[in-house]
Structure 1
Amino acid sequence: MRQDLANMVYEDIGFEDITTQAVIPPGLQVKGKIIAKEPGIIAGMELALDIFADFNVTVEPMVENGENISEGQVILEISGDPRTILTVERTVLNLLMRMSGIATLTSKIVKKVRSVNPDATVAGTRKTTPGLQLFEKNAIRAGGGDTHRFRLDDGVLIKDNHLALVGGVGEAISRARRYVSFTKKIEIEVETLEEALQAARAGADIIMLDNMEPERINQVLKALEDENLRDKVIIEVSGGINENNIVQFANTKVDVISTGYITHSARSLDLSLDLEKIH
């Protein structure tokens, strides 16, 4: 991860920061603060600390990941060579702002869900930014959500295109069960009540009800209860879920609500860096 962060910085620098090299004389020392310009949930502090440490900038964190921050609050304090600080500034701020935005939106949605379904889990999806998947997933965690799968090797998730190529729910689950270790859960995405019942009968660990309206979800839950299958599986819902409709899905009393909205639609939290010359 440290190398990934360094690569991000050097990608932004290119051959040199010509503005800083041209304008800032050598030998100066500065102190500075990263300040919140709006309230939210902070995330990405470990990335900021790692980048500054790798570039010999002294840094002192004022908050921890997952902490509520208010407008005007100091997030961290730094000191060192202004040429270095100005060169890495944008990469640090971009990561902090992006991750804090995801954490803030996740926290907002988790609170909505817990207000009507305290036992429900809000999870992210793999609709993340390539290269930032680990960071964005950790931001979800900082906001009180569940990361779901980080990568494809975390667990089995059989989707519609898998089913289309192997002949159906039962066959897909059977193939997965023969292939994977007992340590891996088998999840399957279904679109109909009958597919959900087939998946539960075939021994799926998790059934994802994809793009189902709340009324239809309740029908599936009732059908599983009627066959004494409801307690044998985790029921997840996903598809088109956002902050405006998530309470409707939480009211169905499902176990997990997964949504790409908390990553692909999160707005970056506004943070800024202010510097002051020491000598």
Structure 2
Amino acid sequence: MYDKIVENIVDLIRKDEGFIDFASYPLKGKKTSACIILKNEEAIISGVEIVQKVLEKFNIESEFKAKDGERIFKGEIATLSGDAYNLLICERTILNVLSFMSSIATKANAIVERAKKIKPDIKIAATRKTIPFTGELQKIAIMHAGGDTHRLNLSDCAMIKDNHIALYGSIANAVQQVRKNLSFSKKIEVEAETEEMAFEAAKAGADIVMLDNFSPSQASSLAKKLKESYPHILIELSGGVNPEKIEEYICEHIDIISIGKLTTEIKYIDFSMEIVK
């Protein structure tokens, strides 16, 4: 699990090392121990399993006090031991991974928890607004936060968006043409910008209707109408969702709320590494 991600991070460390880390080279072969410290008051940690597997590649033993998805508090959260040179060349990259993933997990978890207090079965999902080359880390962090990853790639679900509709000519034709090649195990989702589009998508046989850029009141009203006529359909609300006001978007008939800001706007979680002997 995570083998390719780990391999890519190891490559990053080797590129960062360059020919040799001159500042650390005289310490090569010296056994030492270190600890990782959370400098924020608290956080939802993410990236533990990945970081541990990366450290194993450098023969560094690690022990974390928490698992991915758990809440941690300011202070020591892990101990490391191994060759001093390897510890030092890994330091910044592993801290960056923990900081990046924990920042996303911490933000997403806060939103998920607020939403589930109102509707326990609501799904708070990420979007495809991820940073190139780091999207997998972001999606994993969302999962650790208790959120929904949404599509991990284009083949996960056939999502018919505005440009598809323009090229196919209509929602009905788009669904019909896409269905011809789609496996029974996959769903079709249609992005709808108006009530008419939403009902056309439902009538055409879409499994999921995404209400795009609707206000909370508009979305709630339309979702109710859709569920009355098509109770089997999943309804996703997306586009312009303000996570600070997540409560306003939650209603009985909306199943999923996807938020781009889960992965595009995050507050940095700070970790440091200190040699202890």
The structure 1 residue matched to 2:51, chosen from 48, 51, 55, is: 48
**2:78 aligns to what?**
76
Trace 1:24-43 onto structure 2 (pairs within 5 A): 24-38=26-40, 39-43=42-46
Task: Give deviations 1:107-143, integer Å, cap 9, x for gaps.
Answer: 0000121122222100001111222222211100100
Trace 1:137-216 onto structure 2 (pairs within 5 A): 137-216=139-218
- Aligned pair 1:3/2:1, yes or no? no
The structure-2 alpha-carbon separation of the partners of 1:219 and 1:25, relative to structure 1 and needing over 3 Å to count, comes to: closer
Task: Compute the TM-score of the two structures, normalised by the length of structure 1.
Answer: 0.93
**2:234 aligns to what?**
234
**1:223 aligns to what?**
225
Q: Give the match's secondary structure for 1:85.
A: helix
Amino acid at match of 2:53: D
**1:263 aligns to what?**
263
Percent identical among aligned pairs is 39
In the alignment, the residues of structure 2 paired with residue 92 and residue 159 of structure 1 have an alpha-carbon distance, to the nearest angstrom, of: 37
CA contact (8 A) 1:124 1:146 kept: yes
In the alignment, the residues of structure 2 paired with residue 80 and residue 221 of structure 1 have an alpha-carbon distance, to the nearest angstrom, of: 56
Trace 1:243-258 onto structure 2 (pairs within 5 A): 243-251=243-251, 253-258=253-258
Contiguous gaps of at least 5 residues in structure 2: none
In the alignment, the residues of structure 2 paired with residue 10 and residue 130 of structure 1 have an alpha-carbon distance, to the nearest angstrom, of: 20
CA contact (8 A) 1:105 1:262 kept: yes
**2:69 aligns to what?**
66
- Aligned pair 1:20/2:5, yes or no? no
CA RMSD, 1 decimal = 1.4
Aligned length: 272
CA contact (8 A) 1:170 1:198 kept: yes
Farther off after superposition, 139-148 or 264-273: 264-273
Contiguous gaps of at least 5 residues in structure 1: none
Where in structure 1 do 4 or more consecutive aligned residues deviate above 4 Å?
A: none
Measured after TM superposition, the shift of residue 253 of structure 1 is 4.1
Measured after TM superposition, the shift of residue 11 of structure 1 is 2.6
Measured after TM superposition, the shift of residue 225 of structure 1 is 4.1
In the alignment, the residues of structure 2 paired with residue 27 and residue 11 of structure 1 have an alpha-carbon distance, to the nearest angstrom, of: 21
Measured after TM superposition, the shift of residue 267 of structure 1 is 2.0
Amino acid at match of 2:269: L
Task: Compute the TM-score of the two structures, normalised by the length of structure 2.
Answer: 0.94
In the alignment, the residues of structure 2 paired with residue 141 and residue 15 of structure 1 have an alpha-carbon distance, to the nearest angstrom, of: 37
In the alignment, the residues of structure 2 paired with residue 75 and residue 156 of structure 1 have an alpha-carbon distance, to the nearest angstrom, of: 41
**1:127 aligns to what?**
129
Q: Give the match's secondary structure for 1:224.
A: helix
Measured after TM superposition, the shift of residue 268 of structure 1 is 2.7
